A = this chain, B = another copy of it.
Amino acid sequence: MQKLHIIKIGGTLIDDKKALKAFLAQFSEIEGAKILIHGGGKLAETLAEKLKIRQTMIDGRRITNKKTLKIVTMVYAGRINKNLVAKLQSYGCNAIGFSGADGNLIQAEKRQHPSIDFGFVGDINEKSINHELMINIINLGLVPVFSAITHDKMGNLFNTNADTIAGTIAQALSKYYETELLFCFDKNGVLEDIEDDNSNLKTINRQEFSELKSEGKLHKGILPKLHNAFVAKENGVEKVFLINEKKLSAQIKQGNEGTEICL
């Protein structure tokens, strides 16, 4: 089977122009099939503030109302996605930007919850992924770049967690490729000591994850990444890592950076 790298980057990197540039240069150098999935960063929040659009919160959870959906569609699928594509093109990487609506690549369902209406939030699973078209696009020598916007094929766009999109695409494509899923962020992986960036665990399994979590040793932002990482690994993705975005090239070449997810 052909190798496929699926790489997720987050908002902190997107907000840091210099670090982003260095990352994209590294990403462009990866040989073979690859997919980039990006989060949002502070741009959407800043724009919402400028436009005086208030965040709706219910029971401490963020709701994507109509106005917020418009903002994230503009910022994620427009400004960030197209700038990433243009920058990658300048590095000779034949990037092509998508939302989940494009070519019906990711078809979500509005989040169902017994008491909270999350608004325009879409949930996805392996069946949401149009793997056939993704494979066709990759076979054309293109590098898909996904924003975290999906749709329901009934004309509605949705906000979907970018970590979940990365994990779910990896899961769906792991039947057709030898798939490596890399969650990139600004830490060296899962840290034993949250204060020491060199204390990254080489590997982590479900039990160790549960222990660290119950001991309160994990910082909040890493939880959705780890959750999606374990789901992907348990559903057939060959290799899953949490790595520092600065060490992408080293990871691709030597494979010993960050924290590897184990069964």
The closest CB in chain B to the CB of A145 belongs to B102
Using C-beta atoms within 8 Å of the partner chain, give the interface range for chain A: 35 or more
CB contact between A94 and one of B77, B98, B99, B103 (< 8 Å): that residue: B103
Residues of B within 8 A of A157 (CB): 82-83, 86
* Residues of chain B within 8 A of A116, CB atoms compared: none
The 0/1 profile, CB within 8 Å of B marked 1, for residues 45-89 of chain A is: 000001100000000000000000010011111110111011101
Contact A85 B101 (CB under 8 A): yes
7 A-B pairs besides A103-B142, A136-B140 with CB distance below 8 A are A83-B157, A86-B157, A89-B101, A89-B104, A94-B104, A95-B102, A96-B103
Oligomeric state, in copies: 2
CA distance A81 to B89 in the complex (A): 20
Stretch of A147-155, A220-228, A237-245 lying at the B interface: A147-155
C-alpha spacing A241/B153, complex, angstroms: 32
A51–B74 alpha-carbon span in the complex (Å): 14
Enumerate chain B residues within 8 angstroms of A76, measured Cβ to Cβ.
Answer: 78
Which of B79, B90, B136, B153 contacts A78, CB < 8 Å? B79
CA distance A101 to B78 in the complex (A): 12
Inter-subunit contact B94/A155 (CB<8 Å): no
For the complex, what is the distance from the CA of A116 to the CA of B94, rounded to whole Å? 32
> Given contacts A78-B79, A90-B154, A154-B90, are A99 and B73 in contact (CB under 8 A)?
no
Which residues of chain B are within 8 angstroms of A83 by Cβ–Cβ distance? 73, 157
